[in-house]
Amino acid sequence: MWNIPSKERMAKMPGLYETEHVPLKDKVVHLHFFIGGCDWYITEFDGEDIFWGFAHLGDDRCAEWGYISFSELRSIKIDGWLEIDCELEEYWTPKRAIEIDKIRIAQGWLSENDNPRKYSRDERLIWKEARNG
């Protein structure tokens, strides 16, 4: 693995289940691992090997929250040489999940700046008729 996060950086992360009460949108992503079109966004760490976060494997249909093994991430190699990378601290600042486009889009969340459009009564009737008709 290139750019293995420091022990100090990982020690700043909440432990597993410490943010269980925090809504997914508001969970803070502390680390970002990537290779090719795949990304792992890390929110919690057990202090040894298990992360909890969001994995996006290049397609919104292959994206979910769950447990991620650090040792398994470190072992991934493509063509025997290309390894997973961790975004360096100077380029990655912890941010809420809703602020990360890949997570927000895969989860179907509106961005905080989006306001759902209010449709007029006529527009709703036209829409309903089009669906049923």
- The burial class, CB within 10 Å (0-12 / 13-18 / 19+), for 68 is buried
The reply to whether 33 falls in a domain is yes
User: 2 in a domain, yes or no?
Assistant: no
Residue 22 inside a domain? The answer is yes
pLDDT at 22 (0 to 100):
96
Answer whether residue 130 shows pLDDT above 70: no
Q: In what order do the strands lie in the sheet with 50-57?
A: 63-69, 50-57, 38-45, 31-35, 85-86
Q: pLDDT over 70 for what percent of the chain?
A: 84
| pLDDT value for 29 | 97
Q: How confident is the model at residue 133 (pLDDT cuts 50, 70, 90)?
A: low
Query: What does the pLDDT look like over 5-40, one tens digit per residue?
Result: 999 999 999 999 999 999 999 999 999 999 989 999
Q: Does some domain include residue 26?
A: yes
Instruction: Tally Cβ neighbours within 10 Å of residue 58.
Output: 13
Domain count, the chain: 1
